[in-house]
Structure 1
């Protein structure tokens, strides 16, 4: 009879020689590797919430000024400011970024200076999502440009963005106060923000935007004639009053230090429906433009958003998609208008970071798009132990 072969000793999963290597290999397999500078904010936002290391290479490698820009570097500084254990590494040319997220600590009396190349809305929009899942409420003061053509303005953030977030079950008040306004090129604005924390979001089903019942807005000037606001309001009302007489646009004349270091003007409008849907539009003229043109353009943009038939406007599509992903493991549904390029990029990112796939169903009758998904069941465990 042959003797059975003696089995080798079972290797311990905590073996120092093998265990550390296997753990590091598993860690590296979670690292997300991307190329280019597209959707940089949302890449870092997804990596922070999903707690996955991120490597981005070839950042503007072929451009005249290669590497990350000053506003992207400022965004990374903001992430480091509100996080504990965050690791950021950039190579000498600035074309490769290694980011390892930490715990979102939050905190009070935080200050962040934003370069004038982008508005405060560039930093504040993703921070509103991160702040909800922080360990402590965030109280932060931003300094820089409050109103730019490329980013969400402070008025839109206060009147529309906070409303969209509260639809997902955020009970605490998100407070956004603009102490000083600031426009390009020198800025000089100051915005104080307080973001509460939540345990978890709630699933939504926003399918009917409803008919519009009133228009509201804010027209402002910085270091300009106060007559500019009246001219913007008159031109905007000339279009909006054709549909609804309940139209009121507040005027804000910022002079001296309250108007920042540069002169400029702009207007922000909102439309509120009988179902509680709020859509927004904004216009900040580039260079020397007429106040009448700014008022008319903003009113027409708002009418276009209403005509698209979505429950959120084009500016807030990516924000709504991110909040849907972070909702509990239940079906969330949202009707939107035409998909923007940024929204399409965010839909791809959330599938890569969270494994959440959206069902996109066009509605031929209303010319809208139905988005639906099962949330990732994201919860704020830091808050529970706080």
Structure 2
């Protein structure tokens, strides 16, 4: 193996390592993928993600060992264009969208990706949060015109049947981020949806969430999103996604998804408590989006980018180590307040000046 390759063991952090490999152009080798498991090797959704990366890139070579416990990926260029992909029912569309969102701005052509499968589950970000929270996080980096996620059909577990269309423009370079003022929460928005169950479930979730949130802030708008017939997928389900926005456009989000035997009111209270916990942690970026923002900061123009966030999650800590492997970029992390009144940290790094060389000049 050459010095320009990335070598890892184990199945954890699989998605962001693939993203770093494609963006840096470095070969990646991952071994010991669940070797001692009853069912060793890659899962169907991991193989599916590799196939999706093949579709959105050109010239990528993927080798999987016979047992599926080791892979070798030689990344090609990110080509973009129209792509259609069927996601297995073991993971929701969000599992596949998250890594693609970080690759798409650096494509040769604008990406128009249609994904079919489960749109909301309890493992990954739902399509609602990706549309209302993940995509707005790209705007400060200069990725906004033509950026859109359309929910054409909803699909609940286990059978799915949902469909989304993700449209992403291309950029030459991302801007440097300087986001250090978290501001105060000024409004809360939410989407409550119910498919193949009584539409009343959606209203019950909204009322239960309001009973708690109204005590916190007056500007609340919770929207009931009802899909019927073909557009409601193949399985019954309901969920509530909540987003709190601050005076400086910092976003914090939470959601809860229907569980067998759990009343809609309890699902709503679960989402509401999660949101209030996120708000309490504070910062300019919530924990679910730390890695996305830190990656784009590392790719920023050759200047110092800064962002104020809460403490890093385990996933974020490993991600920072992997970014150093791929791009040689280190982050400086210091307490945001000298007075130590908050646990916020200030993350800063010198951008690599990453340029989208795939871009077609035509």
Q: Does 1:77 align with 2:61?
A: no
TM-score using structure 1 length:
0.91
Q: Residue 117 of structure 2 aligns with which residue?
A: 144
1:149 alignment partner, SS class: coil
Q: Residue 289 of structure 1 aligns with which residue?
A: 262
2-structure distance, mates of 1:167, 1:216: 21
- 1:248-275 Cα shifts (integer Å, max 9, x gaps): 1000122221111100100101111111
- 1:275-321 Cα shifts (integer Å, max 9, x gaps): 11122111113333111011111111111111112111111111111
Is contact 1:309–1:366 with CA below 8 Å preserved after alignment? no
Q: Which of 282, 296, 316 is the equivalent residue of 1:343?
A: 316
Is contact 2:245–2:252 with CA below 8 Å preserved after alignment? yes
Count residues in correspondence: 359
**Unpaired segments ≥5 residues, structure 2:** none
TM-score using structure 2 length:
0.97
Deviation at 1:360, TM superposition (A): 1.4
2-structure distance, mates of 1:288, 1:76: 36
2-structure distance, mates of 1:285, 1:358: 39
Q: Which of 77, 80, 84 is the equivalent residue of 1:103?
A: 77
2-structure distance, mates of 1:106, 1:58: 31
Q: Does 1:134 align with 2:107?
A: yes
- 1:83-108 Cα shifts (integer Å, max 9, x gaps): 11100000110001010000101112
Q: Residue 377 of structure 1 aligns with which residue?
A: 353
Q: Which of 166, 178, 186 is the equivalent residue of 1:213?
A: 186
Moved >3 Å (runs of 4+):
none
Q: Residue 20 of structure 1 aligns with which residue?
A: none
1-structure distance, mates of 2:27, 2:261: 44
Deviation at 1:125, TM superposition (A): 1.1
Please, what is the CA RMSD of the aligned residues?
1.1
2-structure distance, mates of 1:172, 1:194: 10
Q: Which of 282, 296, 310 is the equivalent residue of 1:323?
A: 296
**Unpaired segments ≥5 residues, structure 1:** 1-26
Q: Which of 160, 179, 183 is the equivalent residue of 2:152?
A: 179
Q: Residue 14 of structure 1 aligns with which residue?
A: none
Deviation at 1:384, TM superposition (A): 5.4
Q: Residue 93 of structure 1 aligns with which residue?
A: 67
1:373 alignment partner, SS class: strand
Q: Does 1:199 align with 2:175?
A: no
Is contact 2:16–2:319 with CA below 8 Å preserved after alignment? yes
Q: Residue 251 of structure 1 aligns with which residue?
A: 224
Is contact 1:175–1:193 with CA below 8 Å preserved after alignment? yes
Distance change >3 Å, CA 265–CA 171, structure 1 → 2: closer
- 1:28-66 Cα shifts (integer Å, max 9, x gaps): 221111110110000100000000001111000011110
Q: Residue 23 of structure 1 aligns with which residue?
A: none
Is contact 1:149–1:286 with CA below 8 Å preserved after alignment? no
1:187 alignment partner, SS class: coil
Deviation at 1:205, TM superposition (A): 1.1
- 1:124-157 Cα shifts (integer Å, max 9, x gaps): 1111110100000000110000001110111101
- 1:305-359 Cα shifts (integer Å, max 9, x gaps): 1111211111111111111111111111111113111111111110111101111
Is contact 1:324–1:332 with CA below 8 Å preserved after alignment? yes
